[in-house]
Amino acid sequence: MVEVRHRYATVQGHRVFYREAGAGEAPALVLLHGFPSSSRMFRRLVPALADRFRVIAPDHLGFGNSDAPPAEAFPYTFDSLADITEELLAQLDAARYALYVQDYGAPIGWRLALRSPEAVTAIVTQNGNAYEDGFVPEFWDPVWAYSENPGPETEPPVRAALSLDAIRWQYLHGVDRPELVDPDTWAVDHREVNRPGNDLVQLSLLRDYASNRSLYPRLHAYFRERQVPLLAVWGANDEIFGPDGARAFARDLPDAEIRLVPGGGHFLLESHLDTVAGYMRGFLTTVGSTV
């Protein structure tokens, strides 16, 4: 039985929770979660990969078991969340690592790669965009409108993303076998993002999401110059980040491995864990000389 260690570190005066498993001397694999989840989304992936890797999965500030300082006390932007993650990895002596990013984890991971390109040995992106391709308009148009002009007219459609029905939808849409998805996932996420004051935290991050798009040209240049090994494993039925978002990586990384998983949605690990873990093992073995 694999031991998963549940730990805390103090970063910039904030208590940051992370899950860790595997030998300390093994190659590091950092898992960065998305909205509205936490490192809990990796609860089964961490032990599945810990035989080969030192797996580190933090909760971003405002999520899961990490501190959630009020929005007026912490600047909730993707730059700031990347700062916290970068400092946490430095404390943990993870100087080189492979990245797994999903949803919000992607723009955090992209910032880490741009700041320290020599640190990132390989990337697995699971429904985590790096291109304009794949943004499903029905989901994203209200977010762009809110980012451009936050106010009483644009906030309600975005605030609706914090509702139980919307979070349940994130887990179940496009999934061919919804009975495999644990209902605790959306119940826990809904409870945590709706803690007192956390609605303003989440609205801050939704408002800041548009800032990630301006990062894309630099990111594409990084891909072209570094040719970092990349696996895009994607729930083919995701109605948030559509499959064109996965295919787009091949433009700048012609050797990228693109895997569209039929019957998978946004939270692919809930319904297709073995498929994702299998692709990851194959990919990371193939690029093992650089990891």
Query: Which residues are part of the catalytic machinery?
Result: 266
Q: Partners of 212 in the beta sheet?
A: none
Is there a contact between 231 and 126 (Cβ–Cβ < 8 Å)? Answer: no
Give the helix ranges, DSSP H, for the chain: 45-49, 78-91, 105-115, 137-148, 155-159, 164-172, 184-193, 198-208, 216-226, 244-247, 249-252, 268-286
Q: Partners of 261 in the beta sheet?
A: 235
**Whose structure tokens read 């408002």?**
207
State which amino acid sits at residue 278.
G
Helix (H) or strand (E) holding 11: strand 5-11
Report d(CA 46, CA 269) in Å as an integer.
Answer: 11
What are the φ/ψ torsions at residue 20 (nearest 5 degrees)?
-145, 140
CA 46 to chain centre: 14
Tokens matching residue 66: 């990490």
State which amino acid sits at residue 22.
G
DSSP, residue by residue, 103-147? TTHHHHHHHHHHH-TTTEEEEEESS---SSTTB-HHHHHHHHHHH
> 3-class SS at 184?
helix
